[in-house]
Amino acid sequence: MNNKKESSKTPIRELGKYQLTDRLSARFISSNEATLQGPGDDASVACFREPLTVSGQKLSLEGVDFDLSYFPLKFIGYKTVIHAMGQVMAMNAVPLQLLVCAGVSQRFFIEDLDELFLGIDAAARIYGADVTAIDIQSSYTGLSLAVTALGEGDAGMLTRRSGAHDNDLICLSGNVGAAYMGLKLLEREKRVFTGDSGRDQLPDLKGYEYILERYLKPELPKKLLENLKKDDLIPTSMCLLTNGLAHGVLSIAKASRTGARIFVDKIPIARECFDFAQTDKDLSPLVAALNGGDDYEMLFTIPLESYEILSKEYSIDIIGHICDASHGCMMITPDGKALKLESPGF
C-alpha cells in the first residue's frame, strides 16, 4: 500500500475500532466557526450563517473507483473528498463539514489508514472544510470510503442544473479529458507492474505528470467560483463534470428543457492529452474530453450579457450556447457539421 515494508507496519487489530478512531480523529481540529460538534459524538453539528444547507455524498469502492495497485491511499482520500465537496460547490454553495466512513479489511495496516486520512485532511484543509465525523469499520471485501460534504448556501446564489435559458453561454472552468488519459496511462503501465505485458521493464510514467495528477489528485475551481460571486455573476445553471463533458451538457439541457450547441474547436483540451494520445492509436483527445470523466471542472451557463466581462477578466472557456429544446444538443465540428451530442447510458 505504501513503500514502507509491511513487516514494520502495525496490524489494525492491535488498536481496535475505538482507539483507531481516536487516533485518526486526533488529526482533525475544527476550524470553521460553523462547526459546533466534530468527531466523537453520535452526529456532527453545524450552525451555518447562510440559510441553506447543501449536501453531497460520494461512495468510493475498490476496483471501481480506484485500483490499489496504482492508486496511492493518500490520493483515494483526497479525491473522494474532492468529489463530495465538488457536488456542494456545483450548487454555488461552500462546503464546510465532511463526514467520513471507511470500511477496511484486515490486510490494511494502521499506517495505511494514516495515509488515507492524510489525503482526507489535505483536501479538507485546502478547501476549508472540517472533518466532523469519522467511523471505521471492518470490511470482508475491498476498501470502501463514504464521504459526505455539507455546506452553506445563499438562496439567491443557488445554481441548479435546471436554470439554463435560451442564449445563455456555456462555460467551462478548465480543460477536460486529461484525467481520462491519466487513467489510460496507469492501466497500461499496470500491465508492466504486474508483469502481464511480457516485457522486462519498469512502469514508464515520466513526462506524464500532468495527466496523472489530473486523474489521481484533481482540484476544484474554488477561486473562480468566489470571483464570480464577488462580481455578482451568478451562473443560471452549474454541474460538476465527473462523467464527461457530453454528460454534463446533456444533464443541464435535460433539466432546463433546452437544447445546446457546443463547438469542438472551443473545447479546451490540454496539450498533454494530444501528446499521450500519440502513443496509442485507440486514444482520441476529443472522445476523452466528451466521455472520459473525472475532470472535476465546473460546467456552467451564464447570460449572454456577461460575455464581455467573462472573456476579458476570466480565464474560462466559452464553448457554446443554450438554444431551444427543439434544436437538440449538438456538437459543431470545425468544418461546420452538426453532430448529435451523446453520452453512454444517458
The helix/strand/coil state of 132 is strand
Q: Torsion angle of alpha carbons 25, 149, 270, 273, nearest 10°?
A: 70
Q: Closest CB to its own copies among 63 and 207? A: 63
Q: What separation, in Å, do the N-terminal and C-terminal C-alpha atoms of the chain show?
A: 36
- Candidates 24, 181, 239, 288; binder of its own copies (CB under 8 A) is 239
Q: Closest CB to its own copies among 41 and 204? A: 41
Matching residue, cell 463547438 = 263
- Candidates 161, 184, 217, 261; binder of its own copies (CB under 8 A) is 161
CB of 82 to its own copies, least distance (A): 13
Nearest CA to 84 out of 70, 100, 63, 68 is that of: 100
- Candidates 141, 278, 279, 311; binder of its own copies (CB under 8 A) is 141
Kindly state the number of chain residues that form the binding site for its own copies, as judged by CB under 8 A. Answer: 68
- Alpha-carbon distance of 182 to 216, in angstroms, equals 8
Give residues 98-137 in contact with its own copies (rule: CB under 8 A). 99-103, 132-133, 135, 137
CB of 158 to its own copies, least distance (A): 7
Type and span of the H or E element at 136: strand 130-138
Print burial letters for 305-322: b (CB count within 10 Å at least 16), e (below 16).
ebeeebeeebebbbbbbb
Nearest CA to 127 out of 243, 228, 226 is that of: 226
Indicate the DSSP class of residue 28. Answer: -
Asked if 54 interacts with its own copies (CB under 8 A), we say yes
Asked if 59 interacts with its own copies (CB under 8 A), we say yes
Asked if 68 interacts with its own copies (CB under 8 A), we say no
Give residues 31-50 in contact with its own copies (rule: CB under 8 A). 36-37, 40-48
Which residue ranges make up the site for its own copies (CB under 8 A)?
Answer: 16-19, 36-37, 40-48, 51-59, 61-65, 86-88, 90-91, 93, 97, 99-103, 132-133, 135, 137-142, 144, 146, 148-150, 153, 155, 158, 160-162, 238-240, 255, 344-346
